[in-house]
Amino acid sequence: MRLGSMWRDALSALVREPATQQYPFERLQAPEHLRSKLHWDLTNCTGCGLCAKDCPSDAIDVIVLDKKARKFVFRYHVDRCTFCSQCVMSCPKKCLEMANDEWELASLTPDDFLVYYGNEEDVETVLAAAASNGADASSTDTE
């Protein structure tokens, strides 16, 4: 039976530096394996859509503009992504990669969460189609 059995912690805390990290004033390096924002590399992508098929939260749309010419646009919904890296595992061509230091994704508007990867003109085509046709412009091609 003791009263105030944590007094030793309390006293030593007074003389020691607090355990508090100074984020956002000081930013520590994130761990090497951290899973943050997804990145896509067009080079080897075949547009097979396996990544989208296994994504548990429907966060990927592989938009195939022209399969022969390998015109693909990769649309990534940051707000849906659960950062599980299943897409990275599923991609047979290793086109996907999760950055380890892009975790400061907060935003004041949901607009920022729609990320398009791909050649500039292709992305523009997709965006233009989306703008002219309203919501359903770009159909997701998964096969």
Partner 1 sequence: MSAIAALLIFPGGVFLLLVGMIYEWIDRKLVARFQNRMGPRWFQPLADTIKLLAKEEVVPDGVDARLFFTLPVIALAGAMTAALYVPLVGFEASYSFSGDLIVTVYMLSLLTLGTGLAGANTLNRFSLIGATRTLTQLFSYEAPFLLALLGPAIVADSWQIGEITDYAGDHVWLLVTQPIGFLVALIGLMGKLELPPFDAPEAETEIVAGALTEYSGRGLALFHLGKGVELVIGLTLVAAFYLGGVTHPLIFVAKTLALLSILAGLQALMTRLRIDQTVGLWWRYGALLVLAQFLALIVWEGVM
Partner 2 sequence: MNLDNVIDGIKTWARVNSPWAIHFNSGSCNGCDIEILATLTPRYDLERFGIKLQGSPRHADILICTGPVTRQARERLIRIYEQMPEPKFVVAVGACALSGGTFRGCYNIMGGINEVIPVDAYIPGCPPRPEAIIDGVVKLLTSIQSPAPVENAPARVEETA
Partner 3 sequence: MPTTPTQENDVFRIPIGPQHPALKEPGHFEFTVDGEVVTAATLRLGYVHRGIEKGTEGRNWIQSLYLLERVCGICSHVHATAYCLGVEKLAGVEAPPRAQAIRVLVAELERIHSHMLWLGVAAHEAGFDMLFMYSWRDRETVMNLLEGITGNRVNYSANQLGGVKCDIDGEQADDIRVGLDFLEGRIKHYLDVVSQDTMFLRRTRGIGVMTREDCERMGIVGPTARASGVELDLRVHAPYAAYPEHPVNLVTATAGDLEARFIVRVNELFESIRLIREILDDLPEGDLSVRVPRRIPAGETISRVEAPRGELFYYIKSNRSDMADRVKVRTPTLPNMASVLEIAVGHQLADIPMILTGIDPCFSCNDRMVAINDPSRGEQAWTWEQLRQYGIEYYR
Based on the number of CB atoms within 10 Å of its own CB, is 66 exposed (0-12), middle (13-18) or buried (19 or more)? Answer: exposed
Which CB sits closer to partner 3, 13 or 128? Answer: 13
Which CB sits closer to partner 1, 6 or 131? Answer: 6
Which CB sits closer to ligand SF4, 81 or 126? Answer: 81
Task: Find which of partner 2, partner 3, partner 1, none residue 33 binds, CB within 5 to 8 Å per kind.
Answer: partner 3
Q: Does residue 24 belong to the site contacting partner 3 (CB under 8 A)?
A: no
Task: Tell me the C-alpha to C-alpha distance, in Å, between residue 30 and each of 34, 35, 95, 113, 126.
Answer: 7, 10, 23, 22, 34
Q: Does residue 90 belong to the site contacting partner 3 (CB under 8 A)?
A: yes
Q: Does residue 105 belong to the site contacting partner 2 (CB under 8 A)?
A: yes
Q: Restricting to residues 49-68, which ones interact with partner 2 according to CB under 8 A? A: 56-58, 61
The angle subtended at Cα 4 by Cα 2 and Cα 10, nearest 5°, is: 140
108/87 Cα distance (integer angstroms): 27
117/4 Cα distance (integer angstroms): 58
User: Hunting for tokens 């990769």 — which residue is that?
Assistant: 74
Residues making contact with partner 3 (CB under 8 A): 1-6, 9-10, 19, 31-35, 53-57, 82-86, 89-90, 98, 100
Residues making contact with partner 2 (CB under 8 A): 18-21, 23-24, 30, 56-58, 61, 75, 77-84, 103-111, 113-114, 130, 134-140
